[in-house]
């Protein structure tokens, strides 16, 4: 014998039964949305280091982290010493690196708690065409936030997929 989906003898009891079943399934069908917070790349190109050896200067105003930095030299220099300086009102942190080719990727993993000056210097004043990039992750509480209903989010995704298919 087949079980009845709707239980109860009265109309109210049957509605309660259906409502209970729907609540049970709605918990199982919970949807999760994951937001991706992009990093902020800071990029600079200069011809040569200034008189102090600085090849990059930036002010990082918000809490966050500097994950990586990269230096590319148009004229290869294998003997250059690179110094990365994080300086705020309370502290100064210096990290040293050695160029081993015309490109250097530096894993900095430095936390920013207050407005901080970031200065990258090098000791090779003959190096020309210096490209520098820094990856800065601002804490999420400083980013703009948008609240979407799941239906709006799914609609936006479909619109993006349609645009991608047309290209």
Q: What is the pLDDT of residue 143?
A: 66
Residue 152 lies in a domain: no
In the block, tokens 């790349």 appear at 41
Q: Are residues 96 and 118 in the same domain?
A: yes
Q: Are residues 85 and 24 in the same domain?
A: no
Q: Are residues 64 and 135 in the same domain?
A: yes
Tell me the per-residue pLDDT of 21-48, one tens digit each, with 9 for 90 and over. Answer: 777 766 666 566 666 677 889 999 999 8
Mean pLDDT calculated for residue range 3-30: 72
Q: Are residues 49 and 84 in the same domain?
A: yes
Q: Are residues 23 and 44 in the same domain?
A: no
Q: How many CB atoms lie within 10 A of CB 86?
A: 19
Q: Are residues 65 and 105 in the same domain?
A: yes
Sheet with 81-87: strands ordered across: 54-60, 116-122, 81-87, 92-98
Q: Are residues 125 and 63 in the same domain?
A: yes
C-alpha–C-alpha distance, residues 156 and 159, integer Å: 5
Structural domain range at position 49: 40-142
C-alpha–C-alpha distance, residues 87 and 119, integer Å: 8
Tell me the per-residue pLDDT of 85-120, one tens digit each, with 9 for 90 and over. Answer: 999 999 999 999 998 888 999 999 999 999 999 999
C-alpha–C-alpha distance, residues 100 and 95, integer Å: 16
CA–CA distances in Å: residue 98 to residues 72, 111, 122, 124: 13, 22, 10, 11
């Amino acid at each position: 014998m087949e079980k009845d989906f709707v239980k109860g003898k009265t109309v109210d009891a049957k509605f309660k039964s259906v409502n209970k079943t729907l609540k049970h399934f709605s918990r199982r069908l919970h949807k999760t949305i994951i937001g991706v917070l992009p990093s902020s790349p800071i990029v600079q190109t200069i011809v040569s280091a200034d008189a102090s050896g600085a090849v990059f200067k930036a002010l990082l105003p918000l809490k966050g982290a500097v994950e990586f930095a990269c230096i590319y030299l148009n004229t290869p220099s294998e003997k250059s010493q690179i110094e990365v300086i994080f300086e705020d009102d309370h502290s100064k942190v210096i990290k040293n690196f050695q160029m081993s080719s015309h490109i250097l990727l530096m894993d900095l993993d430095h936390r920013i708690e207050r407005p901080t000056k970031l200065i990258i210097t090098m000791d090779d004043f003959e190096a020309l065409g210096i490209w520098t990039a820094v990856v800065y992750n601002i804490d999420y509480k400083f980013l703009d936030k948008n609240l979407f209903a799941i239906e709006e989010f799914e609609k936006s995704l479909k619109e993006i997929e349609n645009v991608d298919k047309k290209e």
